[in-house]
Structures are given as structure tokens and as C-alpha cells.
Amino acid sequence: MVGHATLLIQVAGLNILTDPVWSHRASPFAFAGPHRRNAPGIRMDDLPPIDIVLVTHNHYDHLDLETLAALNGEHAPHVVTPLGNDTIIRRAAPDGEISSVDWGDRIDLGDGVVIHAEPCHHWSARRSRDRRMALWAAFVIETPAGKIYHVGDTGFHEGINYRAAREMHGCFRLANLPFGCYEPRWFMASQHQNPEEAVMGMVACGAEYVAGHHWGTFRLTNEGIDEPLRALEAALDKAGIERTRFRALRPGEVFDVPVSSEE
């Protein structure tokens, strides 16, 4: 875990970064906006060679141009992002390798690794007049070591997308699921699931294990910075799921995911 929705996934000989944000603020401004409550769990200078970057959508806490420019300059990764976000990312990486994908698209990376773009219940905007002008997506990373379901942001949406992902891809060895930034519910329910819904999503998609993210780094909504953890533990206990199966990752924490019982 690097922080918020930024994870370093090491699988099948690849180093994959999700929604990389190393900036101090999740904001269009350097002087205002939500600031980091903790340092990145990995210094950028300490990263291994990055092969793939997945950018799920264009909100500032997920698409950080300063970070993407630095990664392109040092690592020249292959960036995969939903339609329309490539135009934004080109500002930071004009010479970068960028693939823009629609829901249902797939990119075959060889050696049994395939990236699939799947729907999630969210939206996009960088400013006031570009709402929903770029797409948002979840990703399924198909690998010889099992399938990984990465969701950057989503409303629960009655579990529709979770069930569709399971129907399309089968169960997952790992799901990276957001469970923070959810209050007040009257406003956030359609775009950010809460911990109880994240647990329901884990069950609906058939994930053996979950890496929980989108909490503890940027305070974007009304709940306390550590409140998602307490609510998650209560939701797991209520559902009868061992807490070790849904890991609420903190910056710098490593999750060596066990082999699925179905493999």
C-alpha cells in the first residue's frame, strides 16, 4: 500500500501501480484542498521498475498529473485508462504509451496476463464543465497466479457490477475494494460505498481476499479519518467473515495474498 487508492501490485513478474498519487494534496491547487495525513508508503525513488499503471478515472485523488509525469520520465510504463482520460494524461506524458479502453475491452500483455475494463458506479470530472466527459472503470487483472479485481471508486449500486464481474470472470483471488469516504449517505451513497457495502461486494464478486483502500490518507468526506476501520470490523463480524480476509491496508503495509482455496 502506498496510500489512498495507490497500490503496488507485484504479480506474474510485473510491477503494476494503481491510481498513483504521490502529491501532497488531492486537488488542482498546490496551496488548497485535501492534504495527506500520512506519507506515501513507498518513496517514489524506491519504486521497482514500473511496467503498468492503471488509472481508473480522472478525479484528483486518482489521476495526479505530477506523479504521472514523474513515472513516465523514470519508468516509461504502459498506462491503461478508460476513454477520454488519455487526453488528460497526455499533458503529463506526451510521449507515453497510453491505452484508452471502454467497458468490456481487454489488453493482452502476454504470458497469461490480460487486463479487462469493467463497469463501476461512479462519475468523472476535473472541473465544472467536463462532468462525465471521460469514462471511469474497474479493472480485472487476469494472471497465471489468479484474478485480481481492482475497483478504484464505486457506489454499491445494489451489487449489480459485482455480480456481473463474477459472472464474467468467475471468483477472484484478490479484490482491491474502496471502503472509505462515504458520509453523509444521502449524498455519497451513489458514488462511494461504505464499509458494510464493501463487505457485501466482497461476497457478491466471490473474492477470497480483499485489500481495502480509499481510507486513512485523504479526508474527503465527513466521517473521521479512522472511522472506516471501525465500521469495517463491525461489518465483517456481522457477516461472519474473518477480519484477516479483508485487510484494511495502511501506507507501507504489505499483503502477501494466500493462494485461493479454489485453486
In the chain, what percentage of residues exceed pLDDT 70?
A: 98
AA letter at 119: P
Q: Is the pLDDT of residue 263 over 80?
A: no
Burial class (CB in 10 A: 0-12, 13-18, 19+), 3: buried
Q: What is the mean pLDDT of the chain?
A: 94
What CATH number does the domain located at 8-248 have? 3.60.15.10
Q: Return the pLDDT at 123.
A: 81
| Mean pLDDT calculated for residue range 232-246 | 97
Number of H helices, E strands in the chain: 6, 12
Phi, psi of 142 (to 5 degrees): -90, 120
- Write the pLDDT tens digit of every residue in 89-140: 999 999 999 999 999 999 999 999 999 999 999 888 787 777 777 999 999 9
User: What pLDDT does 262 receive?
Assistant: 55
Strand partners, 25: 35
Q: What is the DSSP letter of 156?
A: -
Q: 141-159 pLDDT, tens per residue?
A: 999 999 999 999 999 999 9
| Whether 248 contacts 228, CB under 8 Å | yes
Sheet with strand 78-82: strands edge to edge: 8-11, 14-18, 52-54, 78-82, 97-101
